[in-house]
Chains A and B, each alone.
Chain A
Amino acid sequence: MLLPKIITKVQDKFPSVTLDTTQFAGEDIIHIQGSYNLDVLKLFRDNGFNFLADITAIDNLTLGGFERFAVVYHLLSHETAERVTIKAYVPEDQPELPSAESLWKTADWQEREIYDLFGISFKGHPNLIRIMNPDDFQGHPLRKDYPRLGRKERDDFPVVKRGINKEAAQ
């Protein structure tokens, strides 16, 4: 079991960065401050958690949490088959945190996805542009204040008429 040791290590090394450690359904969750995510991630990576399974984000608008946004890292150790969840909190007025692309290449596309859907930017990312939505899309659809039906993006295309002679058809 690697995990308990590393968690104590994190708590010792970065006491002010670790906001809380919780458990739910057998999963360990570590809550940290967003701007220090690289230090913590690096410590995990160097201690056996070699695989970044997933990065995602949560908009805590109505859920409540330390800050408005949480970027969630799911790490896995191929050695001991343990998993851990790291939640890095970023504030609403400055949604920015360092990019993990330098540690794992897989962060590249996933951070772009978070940037696109949540509007959280990543410092040091090589190519931070929209990935899912068109480049001219406005807003960030997975934020809780974005309506599910969108803001008329889906109705905004030219209508093509039947037939060759389009003027006559109208």
Chain B
Amino acid sequence: MQPDDIKSNILTTTLESAVNWGRKHSLWPMPFGTACCGIEFMAVLAARTDIARFGAEAIRFSPRQSDLLIVAGRISIKMMPVLIRIYEQMPEPKWVIAMGACASTGGVFDTYSVIQGVDKFIPVDVYVPGCPPRPEGVVEGLIKLQKLVETEKFSDYSTTRGK
């Protein structure tokens, strides 16, 4: 191999950024769509917005195969234990997007049976506002999350990741 070839074929980087680069562009979402936001999430998947452009089209309905939980819709007191179970079943590293007002704060449903924001009980990384958020908003949230993934540190995984 000529010295010139080495120059043009080898790239030095840190392992961390190489891994993060890979993760960032292949987030596998698990949509936890319960209500109206779930329908808008379908629009995010469908042809017009198409999140495949951001490498996140590999929708997995099994929490064990995914690393991004998208909570889309209101969570009732009956559903919350299920959500916690699903979050715990996802392997690390994992991220959470709270899509819509309900998932973030309870939204218009200030009643006895709606959880006032899933972040009370599970950690949330990105909040997407709106009722429902426009598909473009969800894409924006995804891009924000990718930025977050980029800055992850391996050393954090054993403790408080991504703080």
* Chain A–chain B contact at Cβ < 8 A: yes
- Is A168 an interface residue when CB atoms closer than 8 A count as contact? yes
The answer on a CB contact under 8 Å between A147 and B112 is: yes
Nearest chain B residue, comparing its CB with the CB of A169: B160
A-B contact pairs, 9 of them (CB 8 A): A133-B113, A149-B110, A150-B112, A153-B112, A155-B120, A157-B80, A157-B115, A161-B123, A163-B156
- Asked whether B123 lies within 8 Å of A162 as measured between CB atoms, the reply is yes
Hey, which bits of chain A sit against chain B, CB under 8 A?
Answer: 132-134, 137, 141, 146-151, 153-155, 157-165, 168-169
Query: Knowing that A155-B120, A157-B115, A157-B120 are A-B contacts, what are 10 other residue pairs whose CB atoms are under 8 Å apart, sorted by A's residue number?
Result: A133-B77, A137-B77, A146-B112, A147-B112, A149-B111, A158-B84, A160-B84, A160-B122, A163-B157, A163-B160
Query: Which residue on B lies nearest to A147, using beta carbons?
Result: B112
Q: Within 8 Å of chain A (Cβ to Cβ): is B140?
A: no
Report if A168-B113 is in contact (Cβ < 8 Å); known contacts: A133-B78, A157-B84: no
Docked complex Cα distance between A134 and B157 (Å): 35
Q: Which residues of B contact A161 (CB under 8 A)?
A: 123, 160
A150-B92 Cα distance, complex, nearest whole Å:
35
**Docked complex Cα distance between A162 and B161 (Å):** 6
Find out whether the CB atom of B81 lies under 8 angstroms from the CB atom of A157.
yes
Contacts of B157 in A (CB 8 A): 163-164
Chain B residues close to A by CB (< 8 Å): 77-78, 80-81, 84, 87-88, 92, 110-116, 120-123, 156-163
Q: In the complex, are the beta carbons of B113 and A153 less than 8 A apart?
A: yes
Q: Find chain A residues with CB under 8 A from B156 CB.
A: 163
The majority secondary structure among interface residues of chain A is loop
Chain A residue, CB-CB nearest to B110 = A149
Q: Residues of A contacting B122 with CB < 8 Å?
A: 160
The residue that A160 contacts in the complex, of B87, B92, B116, B160, with Cβ under 8 A, is: B87
CB distance from A138 to the nearest CB of B (A): 11
Which 6 A-B pairs give the minimum distances between C-beta atoms? A150-B112, A162-B123, A165-B158, A163-B161, A134-B78, A160-B122
**Complex interface: chain A residues within 8 A of B92 (CB):** 163-164
Partner of A153, one of B77, B81, B87, B88: B77
Q: How far is the CA of A149 from the CA of B157 in the complex (A)?
A: 38
Q: How far is the CA of A169 from the CA of B158 in the complex (A)?
A: 8
Q: Which residue of B lies closest to A146 (CB)?
A: B112
**Complex interface: chain A residues within 8 A of B84 (CB):** 157-158, 160
* Chain B nearest CB, measured from A141 CB (Å): 5
**B112 touches which one: A154, A160, A165, A169 (CB < 8 A)?**
A154
Say which residue of A146, A154, A168, A169 sits within 8 Å of B116 (CB atoms): A154
Q: Collect the chain A residues with CB atoms within 8 Å of residue B113's CB.
A: 132-133, 141, 150, 153-154
Residue of B77, B110, B123, B163 contacting most chain A CB atoms (<10 Å): B77
Smallest Cβ-Cβ distance to A135: which chain B residue: B78
